[in-house]
Amino acid sequence: MPHRQSLSTLGQMLRRREIGSEELVHHFADRIDKQQDLNAFITVDTDYALQQARAADQLLAGGNPPPLAGLPIAHKDIFCTQGMLTTCGSKMLANFLSPYDATVVRRLKDAGAVTLGKTNMDEFAMGSSNETSHFGPVHNPWNRDRVPGGSSGGSAAAVAARLVSAATGTDTGGSIRQPASFCGLTGLKPTYGRVSRYGMVAYASSLDQGGPITQTAEDAALLLQTMAGFDARDSTSLDAPVPDYAASLKQKIEGLRIGLVSEFFDPSLDPDINAHVREALGELEKLGAKLIDVSLPNSAAGIPCYYVIAPAEASSNLSRFDGVRYGHRSESYTDLQALYENTRAEGFGAEVKRRILIGTYALSAGYYEAYYLKAQQIRRRIADDFSQALTKCDVLVGPTTPTTAFLLGEKTTDPVSMYLDDIFTITVNLAGLPALSLPVGFDPSGLPIGMQVIGNYLDEGTLLAIGHHFQEVTDWHLHAPGEVA
């Protein structure tokens, strides 16, 4: 069945002409249609997908097709796409048709990938459960009463349910890794600056990073190869060479030093999560890796620090939504002030408003030093902790999340309880390091558990090698939810 094949395997089948892209689009479009209850997609455009597929089939027949020719993917609805709406899960952009493609979209398109649609997400990427979307919550395919994680919940749900073979996501505080963990998938947040943010609607500019959500590390390497690289249109893009990630997968991990972060293995950690992560580490040891203990002493400060910096940056980034040039515009206003105030009151949901307000407060006169500057100093401490630890080991590991997928509605009454779910992922964004979440098992109720591997700057290759070798000796990544026949 095509939907049980990894992206890489499908690619081989397409190139050997064992299957056509048009056929794949019909197959996946049908699956998407039958699982609308997951609410993983905001926009699905089968006609447009078929058009792309036919073009891909021509390239495949031609004999020298681009690397992703004909492969069915989806984009998180935060990436600007010319042919389809870009809503960011918000009423503010519910009607927004971007006049340009994001660099990530353009590169994947040029590589021949076929986009089936735009996936649901927490509004403007603010959330950890995909419950803040204007278009309704996404359901976890492993258990529909539970959240898929967020903010890239739609992408994760779509890949987990095999409605597409892979999808793009973005990660500001954990929004690729946490949903990947909750949905039994592989999710990569690249080094800050590795993947262009041009056309990726900005939430927190010093933290945001786009990346792949896939079934395997091999697939993540395949997508990253195309997504990564310098982009003159992104002023924070790193002008650093992109390695051959497929070759990186074969890197030996014998002798690799893996640092177990003591703060991530606190005695209060859920015992099932602890057991599965330890078991996974045992597999890596069998492959020759060495486990050592390290500490990131300022870990707990990550959450308060992030919830100053991210909202502050968001308050600036979202000030562009004013009803003047694009997006929602209120119909009730008598003057310019009212136009702005009503447009923004109507267009934004509650969580987005909370973060803009907190961010504005933290940056306002009299509070800037106490909040924003303080947070930036703590950010330096956190980044230094990582640098210190990474002199003693090559990568750091821990669980991706403190819990498995929680129930829909369980954390929506208290905003802060949701924030605490990011405890293991958030410091990675503050430091700008790359990190990979891998599926390492299931809890007693069948919910996926994820392990996070954090690397040094621009060392995605080592992370992907660890993931690949791990997936060659285990089969967690091959599991799919019950109905995925």
Partner 1 sequence: MASREADDVSLPQSDCYVGPTHVYYTLGPRVFWFFSPVPISKDDVERVAHLARIGIDSTEIDTYTADLDRILDLVEQMNEISTQGIEPLAHPQDMQLRLREDTVTESDQRALFQSIAPQTDQGHYLVPKVIE
Determine phi and psi for 180, rounding to 5 degrees.
Answer: -60, -45
- 151 catalytically annotated: yes
Contact region for partner 1 (CB under 8 A) — 158-166, 307-315, 466-474, 477-485? Answer: 307-315
CB of 231 to partner 1, least distance (A): 11
Secondary structure (H, E, C), 173-208: CCCCHHHHHHCCCEEEECCCCCECCCCECCCCCCCC
According to the binding rule CB under 8 A, does residue 304 interact with partner 1?
A: yes
- Which residues within the stretch 387-406 sit at the binding site for partner 1 (CB under 8 A)? 402
Closest approach, Cβ 103 to partner 1, in A, equals 15
Site string for partner 1, 415-434 (x = CB under 8 A): xxx-xx--x------xxxx-
Residue 241 three-state SS:
coil
# chain residues binding partner 1, by CB under 8 A = 80
Considering 129, 151, 196, 237, which one is annotated as catalytic?
Answer: 151
The least distance separating partner 1 from the CB of residue 179, rounded to whole angstroms, comes to 20
Residue 65 or residue 311: which is nearer to partner 1 going by CB?
311
Q: At what angle do helices 217-227 and 460-473 cross, to 10 degrees?
A: 150
* Ranges within 112-141 binding partner 1 (CB under 8 A): none
> Burial level of 178, CB count in 10 A (0-12/13-18/19+)?
buried
Under DSSP, is residue 62 helix (H, G, I), strand (E, B) or coil? helix
Region of residue 210 (left: phi > 0; alpha: psi -120 to 50; beta: else):
beta
Please say whether the beta carbons of 128 and 150 come within 8 A.
yes
Q: Does the annotation mark 21 as catalytic?
A: no
Among residue numbers 432 through 461, which ones bind partner 1 (CB under 8 A)? Answer: 432-433, 457
Contacts of 71 (CB under 8 A, 6+ apart): 7, 10, 11, 14, 21, 112, 113, 114, 165, 166
Residue 16 touching partner 1 (CB under 8 A): no
CB of 377 to partner 1, least distance (A): 4
For position 344 contacting partner 1 by CB under 8 A, the verdict is: yes
Residue 341 touching partner 1 (CB under 8 A): yes
Residue 238 or 463 having the CB closest to partner 1: 238
Q: Which is nearer to partner 1, 50 or 301 (by Cβ)?
A: 301
Q: Establish if 290 lies at the interface with partner 1 (CB under 8 A).
A: no
Catalytic residue among 8, 98, 129, 175: 175
Residue closer to partner 1 (CB basis): 305 or 466:
305
- Geometric angle at alpha carbon 254, from 252 and 260, rounded to 5°: 115
Shortest Cβ distance from residue 397 to partner 1 (Å)?
16
The footprint of partner 1 on residues 206-245 (CB under 8 A) is 206, 232, 235-236, 238-239
Alpha helices in 334-435 (DSSP H): 336-347, 350-363, 374-392, 415-419, 426-431
Classify 168 as helix, strand or coil. Answer: strand
Contact range with partner 1 by CB under 8 A, out of 21-29, 127-135, 182-190, 352-360: 352-360
C-beta of 186 vs 437, nearer to partner 1: 437
The yes or no reply on residue 479 touching partner 1 (CB under 8 A) is no
Coil, helix or strand at residue 332: coil
Distance CA 225, CA 178 (A): 22
Choice between 49 and 296, CB closer to partner 1: 296
In Å, how far are 32, 52, 73 from 69, measured between CA atoms? 21, 10, 11
- Smallest gap, in angstroms, from Cβ of residue 175 to partner 1? 17
Applying CB under 8 A, among 269, 287, 291, 484 the residue interacting with partner 1 is 269
Least CB distance to partner 1 at residue 33 (A): 29
Residues 361-390 that bind partner 1 (CB under 8 A): 361-362, 364, 370-371, 373-381, 383
Q: Using the rule CB under 8 A, is 334 a contact of partner 1?
A: yes
Q: Please identify, using beta-carbon distances, which residue of 279 and 346 lies nearer to partner 1.
A: 346
357 interacts with partner 1 by CB under 8 A:
yes
Secondary structure of residue 66 in the 3-state scheme: coil
The side-by-side arrangement of strands in the sheet containing 448-454 is 41-44, 114-119, 72-76, 166-170, 210-214, 186-189, 435-442, 448-454, 395-399, 257-261, 290-294
CA distances (Å), origin 337, targets 46, 313, 332, 476: 42, 22, 11, 54
- 287 is an interface residue for partner 1 by CB under 8 A: no
Residues of this chain, 58-87, that bind partner 1 according to CB under 8 A: none
Q: What is the DSSP letter of 465?
A: H
Query: What is the C-alpha separation between 234 and 221, in angstroms, rounded?
Result: 22
CB of 308 to partner 1, least distance (A): 6
Phi/psi of residue 172, nearest 5 degrees = -115, -35
Q: Which of 13, 55, 246, 339 binds partner 1 (CB under 8 A)?
A: 339
Minimum CB–partner distance for residue 333 and partner 1 (Å): 6
Interface of this chain with partner 1, residues 309 to 328, rule: CB under 8 A: 315, 319, 322-326
196 catalytic per annotation? no
Distance, CA of 414 to CA of 203 (rounded, Å): 22
| Residue 182 engages partner 1 in binding (rule: CB under 8 A) | no
Nearest to 202 by CA among 168, 158, 234, 167: 234
Catalytic residues: 76, 151, 175
